[in-house]
Structure 1
Amino acid sequence: MPRSLRLLTLVLAVALSACGGASDPTGEDAAANALAVALVPVQREVLAHEVVASGQVAAWEETPLGVEVAGLRVIEVRVEVGQAVAAGEVLLRLDDRAARSDVAQARAACAEAEASLALATANLERGRALSGRGLMSAADFDQLGALRAQADARRATAEAALDAAGLRLSWTTLVAPDAGVISRRAVQPGEVVSPAAPLFHLIRQNRLEWRAQIAEGDLSRVAVGQAVRLRGAEGSIVEGRVRAVAPGLDAATRTALLQADLPAPGALRAGMVAEGRIETAQAPVLTVPLAAVVRRDGFAYVFGVDQSQRVVRHRIDTGRVFAGRIEVLAGLEEGQPVVGSGAGFLGEGDRVRVVADAP
């Protein structure tokens, strides 16, 4: 064999010997390098079922207030937007000079009718005395009775006119029909008012309510009297109670209107939109830590570990999230161990090392 060929054969032999001398890592080394995981059991907890909806905060009753006369000028406005008022409190005054003059005229006409009635009554009494002695004919006596009836009718007409004039005078002062808060004002001193336009809006008794549209599937679980929790400003919670649920569904949206009283609305104001949660019932559910769930390809999974310390993937159906845990609707059983955290680093068949408390 030529010398160069023998040298090449020796180099190949040394290389093959070196490759054959290398060994795979032992099982102990692989276990030491495996990802450490901690297992937690699937727990059963009692949770309140909730119907979640978004709705608007509105006035229980917002009453438009206006006057019943036209062509009079506003001489005084006594309230501002946001001001609380009592029932019967004066909100606005109109120029009442013409109305007062009408009342005085009607009062004078009423006094004149009273005097005419008194005279007619006296004449009738005298005629009755004369007729009894045969000194007055029956026709004359009947005439006196007719005059007395006419005077009585004129007095009634004058009293009705006085009442009408007094009513028109009362319309020159606008008062609050109920206690509440002024939500809108559309009038200024000096304006000439019209009976068709509301001058103020009053939130009666300062009562607010929450109005939401409930989906058809949730309607059977909602009833009058159930508690409602709204999230107010800066995360505050406002408590309410369902007052009414519409008996029918809207044909277009397939939803029903729900109204909930808010006895203490706090920072909530009419017109705000708030999310509400309605407690319907309590029932036991299965839960796992939120960190145990990963989502891949549009599905939710958790991971367990088999006897050979390899990862097993379980597909699950999830529900509500609360306090760092998530509801499991299907795919697991109570007490079944799953990887509690770090599931996002795992894959089906990975070798892991189970420890009591893993990072």
Structure 2
Amino acid sequence: MSTHLLHHRLPWALCLAGLIALGGCKSDPETAKAAAAPADDGGSASLSVELVKPQARALQRRLVASGAIAAQEEMLLGVELSGVRVAEVLVDVGENVRKGQVLLRLDTRTLASDQRQADAAVAEAEAALAVAQRNNQRMGALREKGLISARDADEMWGAATQATARLASAKAQREAVALRLSFAELRAPDDGAISRRDVQPGQVVSSGAELLRLIRQSRLEWRGNLPEAELIRVEEGTSVIVNSPDGSQAQARVRRIATAVDSASRTGVVYASLADPGKLRAGMFAQGELLLGETPALLLPLAAVVQRDGHSYVFRVGEQQRVTRQRVEIGRVDGSQIEIVSGLAADQAVVARGAGFLSEGDRVRIVPAQSGTAAP
């Protein structure tokens, strides 16, 4: 091959080699990036983080307990007559009633007959008394004239006295019959709501048997069970938030605290009156929060605290932007924040988010708090 031909083909060969090298670089971008990345003796930052300091503010002290909804005062209603048939029941479960309202009536036919007999006995006694009194007056006049003996006059006076006593007895019997007749109507002893009905028309009832139940004044209460250590922290008048099964809340206030605890469970009961029960009903089971007042606290976001090995930790950023794990004691949770009881000072900043991705000694990059959430 001549020297002239060699010099003519050499530029084309160099161009072809350059194209092949360029194509190889384009097909492996990761290799190119790795080759172009500068060496870092300390290692690159694995996570961009924000720092946050504990927030000092007042936090409500709460005790959470479960308990039953019950009537504050429930009255068991019955009649004072035995062997009498129920004529009609005028109320049903859930109805609100007023004091003195008739709730049920008994069959009064037998009692009405007794009432008529008592009236007749009183009339008969009144007539007998009138006759005895007139005879006694006549005998008194004759005795003054000496026309009858003292013995006859005394007998006539005694007859008038007996007639007076018989009339009083007849009236007392009539009043007893009238009282029994009044028992034929069961009336509400106070305002309230009917919570139970165990009687039907036609039923023969007995004295003292429970026929109806009345929640007096329709007042309900929450009865929360608390361990003895927490029971002593509650005082009368403490506010309570009772959570309904549908998610709504009702306000209550502690009116009474049990004076003794159960010897087996070591728990006691607090009785909290519900101002407006809403959808709560007697017999329901609900959770309540007792508000014991506000106290100062240090709060961190929940995402800043991690649980490992059964303990709570936060991460602080030290030299060369490496994180150090620091153990803390946590307390109450308030929404998206948690109380730090001990282990962290108010001026110490910690990683706000992404702490769950960190380990002791990891290097991080700190970004301003307003930059948004840190991402690994």
The two structures share one fold, judged by TM-score above 0.5: yes
1:243 match: secondary structure: strand
- Is 2:135 the counterpart of 1:123? yes
Letter in 1 for 2:95: Q
- 8 Å contact from structure 1 (residues 43, 335) kept in 2: no
The count of corresponding residues between Structure 1 and Structure 2 is 337
Cα RMSD for the two superposed structures: 2.0
Query: Which residue does the alignment assign to 2:259?
Result: 247
- 8 Å contact from structure 1 (residues 40, 340) kept in 2: yes
1:92 match: secondary structure: strand
Structure 2, unaligned stretches of length 5 or more? 1-34
Identity %: 50
**Which aligned pairs between 1:320-359 and structure 2 lie closer than 5 A?**
320-357=332-369, 358-359=373-374
1:152 match: secondary structure: helix
**Which aligned pairs between 1:67-146 and structure 2 lie closer than 5 A?**
67-146=79-158
Query: Which residue does the alignment assign to 1:160?
Result: 172
Query: Which residue does the alignment assign to 1:316?
Result: 328
**Which aligned pairs between 1:109-258 and structure 2 lie closer than 5 A?**
109-258=121-270
Query: 1:276 pairs with 285, 288, 296, which one?
Result: 288
- Cα shift readout 1:92-137 (whole Å, capped 9, x = no counterpart): 1121100000011011101111122222222222222222333332
Using the alignment, how far apart are the partners of 1:259 and 1:168 within structure 2?
39
Query: 1:297 pairs with 305, 309, 315, which one?
Result: 309
Query: Which residue does the alignment assign to 1:261?
Result: 273
1:321 match: secondary structure: strand
- 8 Å contact from structure 2 (residues 245, 286) kept in 1: no
Using the alignment, how far apart are the partners of 1:155 and 1:229 within structure 2?
65
**Which aligned pairs between 1:18-33 and structure 2 lie closer than 5 A?**
25-27=39-41, 30-31=43-44, 33=45
Letter in 2 for 1:323: G
Letter in 1 for 2:40: T
- 8 Å contact from structure 1 (residues 117, 148) kept in 2: yes
- Cα shift readout 1:280-320 (whole Å, capped 9, x = no counterpart): 22210111111111111111111111132111111111111
Letter in 2 for 1:167: L
Using the alignment, how far apart are the partners of 1:136 and 1:249 within structure 2?
85
- Cα shift readout 1:145-180 (whole Å, capped 9, x = no counterpart): 221221121111111111111122122222211111
2:58 match: secondary structure: strand
- 8 Å contact from structure 1 (residues 46, 285) kept in 2: yes
Letter in 1 for 2:255: R
Using the alignment, how far apart are the partners of 2:290 and 2:83 within structure 1?
51
Letter in 2 for 1:186: D
1:230 match: secondary structure: strand
Letter in 2 for 1:247: T
Deviation at 1:60, TM superposition (A): 1.2
Using the alignment, how far apart are the partners of 1:241 and 1:305 within structure 2?
47
Letter in 2 for 1:50: R
Using the alignment, how far apart are the partners of 2:286 and 2:112 within structure 1?
51
Higher Rg of the two aligned structures: 2
- Cα shift readout 1:26-70 (whole Å, capped 9, x = no counterpart): 258x34x43111110012110121222111111111212122222
Letter in 1 for 2:283: G
Structure 1, unaligned stretches of length 5 or more? 1-20
Output the TM-score relative to the length of structure 1: 0.89
Letter in 2 for 1:279: L
Using the alignment, how far apart are the partners of 1:293 and 1:131 within structure 2?
116
1:63 match: secondary structure: strand
Instruction: Tell which deviates more after alignment, 153-162 or 72-81.
Output: 72-81
